[in-house]
Structure 1
């Protein structure tokens, strides 16, 4: 018994030391910062909260049971039969681009947006695994990207939706921070960037419904129904969000991660209609449907935000749930037909013209 207790104690000390010292876990809010967060309607009793009382806090046994089910359940067709091969794009073609607003998908929820002569990265996660260490997660579906990260052009702005590992990646930030002019995050997320060497002067943290002007563009930090945390003891210590990006001619919505709730209707009424809505659709399960939409809800959320067309995201990148990897796109397309909303499904690396009225994207995933 004594030996067992000693082992448990040493393990606990090791885990705490790891989460405090290993850089991938990021930074924490200071006490003075927490005092400023108290001005936010989302920050109560030392944590950020959703409008509804979700997610429910699980006991340790519940967390262990959920983890056991995830790691032991075999999912047929849970991954593509082979690595996804992206369409390639030339670095000069990116650097010299001065056309209409367009986007390049890097898989999962990561994009390069070129708009009004600016280069904007959205949730740039270029890591091999969605975890604090390469041994703690499954490899992403695409080993290659449309362009190598070191050949990306100068980045005017980076927008992050929240601090989970499949959206905010330590190694990715290290690769882009010296070629990025400014970072925009929900409240608290900037502490991770500061920990990783980004100057505070180059970080703007925002609360829900706050707006900021970035040259000719307007960025709005809008609500989502999700959660946050990168370690064992900092759950809900940072805010999560969706984003609105508006130019004189284009209006784009990025959902981040979110369960289905009334905030989509609120966003649509205040900032819609949208030329393109990038909507979370993947890594869902009935057990956590309050924080990740089911595909049918994704299509309905597109209606709610008044989108002219939606692009399902948060799929074709990582296996973070128990569904087949193509289940998200199949189900959201079926529901979209019923609701009469257009869905586009570009291949990784394929050019996406924000206001394009022609849907020329193929069902590229069907043979994989």
Structure 2
């Protein structure tokens, strides 16, 4: 019996090693040469990227198992919608020919199509069905349909990625998109995954926090966030995470990426604000991980900190990745926004968002 148990354990270990080393969705691996280059960053210490604060806490194996057990066994009332979320569909010709004032289209969770200054930009284009390395390892997204499928999207001038977690960087989405994208902008290290998936190095620009690049009249600034990274055990914090500023001559947009609440929001607002529109993380929070995701009340405050004229809560309405109800984020942030007297945008997935249209209204579609 002991021999049989040991053989089974050995088989499981070999199967795991084969899976993580050869299944393509895990992405690439940072080389020693890259590690030496990243060591020049003030955000890189002892072989890993770090936050300004000493978070998140490194969990022991027992703590990790306990956290996973609570996540997978806790029953969450209204944790997911009772039916597939309705999506506003886009016309492919309208998207391809669009030449007017800046507009955004939310794809659910944290994915956006941004059309600004006659450029098409995708932010964290996770269009896959499951936020996990394999379809059997995660729950389905809340919307089966997309506003406009990848195949019908026009040429994409830029893709902006905030970090390498599965709900933001998706292997299948990138492989479908890569041949119609001109340039990819990522925080340090994230390009290694893109290269592994067939994106040429010359089409990838990696930036550290507070670094900027001007591209075709647009400013892209890689700004701080308080989070972490990693796509498998053993490569945690090997790549950087970030928020992003995207600015044209007439419009300023802010994308928070994933982040706990911190002083970096005020610093970003002081340097780049005020913003016409800020996409702020608001979902997948829990008291067990308070430093890496914001609670809705913190989202509203962070919107004030970055000096946003309008705040849109994101990182909700797509996947069940925490233990709150699926509507808890939007209900709480709308309430807090009213208290702080800030404008909260709550579009349906696929609904066109016009940042400078002060008369644009939204329905409480989640009710």
TM-score (norm 1): 0.98
Give the C-alpha shift of residue 9 in structure 1. 2.7
Partner residue, 2:79:
78
CA distance in 2, matches of 1:257, 1:356: 27
The C-alpha deviation readout for 1:33-59, integer Å capped at 9, x for no partner, is 110000001110000001111110101
Does the aligned pair in 1 maintain the 2:130–2:139 contact within 8 Å? yes
The C-alpha deviation readout for 1:174-196, integer Å capped at 9, x for no partner, is 11000000000000000000000
Partner residue, 1:275:
276
What SS class does the counterpart of residue 288 from structure 1 fall into? coil
Give the C-alpha shift of residue 14 in structure 1. 1.6
- 1:347-358 matches, cutoff 5 A: 347-358=348-359
Partner residue, 2:361:
360
What SS class does the counterpart of residue 182 from structure 1 fall into? strand
Partner residue, 2:62:
61
Partner residue, 1:260:
261
Partner residue, 1:319:
320
Partner residue, 1:334:
335
Partner residue, 1:218:
219
- 1:178-217 matches, cutoff 5 A: 178-217=179-218
The C-alpha deviation readout for 1:208-239, integer Å capped at 9, x for no partner, is 00000011100000000000000111000100
Q: Which runs of 5+ in 1 are unaligned?
A: none
CA distance in 2, matches of 1:4, 1:50: 42
Partner residue, 1:137:
138
CA distance in 1, matches of 2:31, 2:356: 43
Count of residue correspondences: 366
Partner residue, 1:147:
148
Give the C-alpha shift of residue 264 in structure 1. 0.3
- 1:101-116 matches, cutoff 5 A: 101-116=102-117
What SS class does the counterpart of residue 181 from structure 1 fall into? strand
Give the C-alpha shift of residue 7 in structure 1. 2.2
The C-alpha deviation readout for 1:307-330, integer Å capped at 9, x for no partner, is 011000000000000000000000
1:244 aligns to 2:242 (yes or no): no
Does the aligned pair in 1 maintain the 2:276–2:310 contact within 8 Å? yes
Give the C-alpha shift of residue 240 in structure 1. 0.2
CA distance in 2, matches of 1:343, 1:172: 29
What SS class does the counterpart of residue 274 from structure 1 fall into? coil
What SS class does the counterpart of residue 156 from structure 2 fall into? coil
Partner residue, 2:298:
297
Give the C-alpha shift of residue 3 in structure 1. 3.1
What SS class does the counterpart of residue 144 from structure 1 fall into? coil
CA distance in 2, matches of 1:116, 1:75: 43
Give the C-alpha shift of residue 337 in structure 1. 1.0
Does the aligned pair in 1 maintain the 2:310–2:355 contact within 8 Å? no
CA distance in 2, matches of 1:356, 1:4: 65
Give the C-alpha shift of residue 15 in structure 1. 1.0
CA distance in 2, matches of 1:285, 1:6: 39
Give the C-alpha shift of residue 358 in structure 1. 1.8
What SS class does the counterpart of residue 359 from structure 2 fall into? coil
The C-alpha deviation readout for 1:149-181, integer Å capped at 9, x for no partner, is 100010000000000000000000011000000
CA distance in 2, matches of 1:224, 1:9: 40
Partner residue, 1:13:
14
TM-score (norm 2): 0.99
Q: Which runs of 5+ in 2 are unaligned?
A: none
Give the C-alpha shift of residue 8 in structure 1. 2.0
RMSD across aligned positions (CA): 0.7
Give the C-alpha shift of residue 12 in structure 1. 1.8
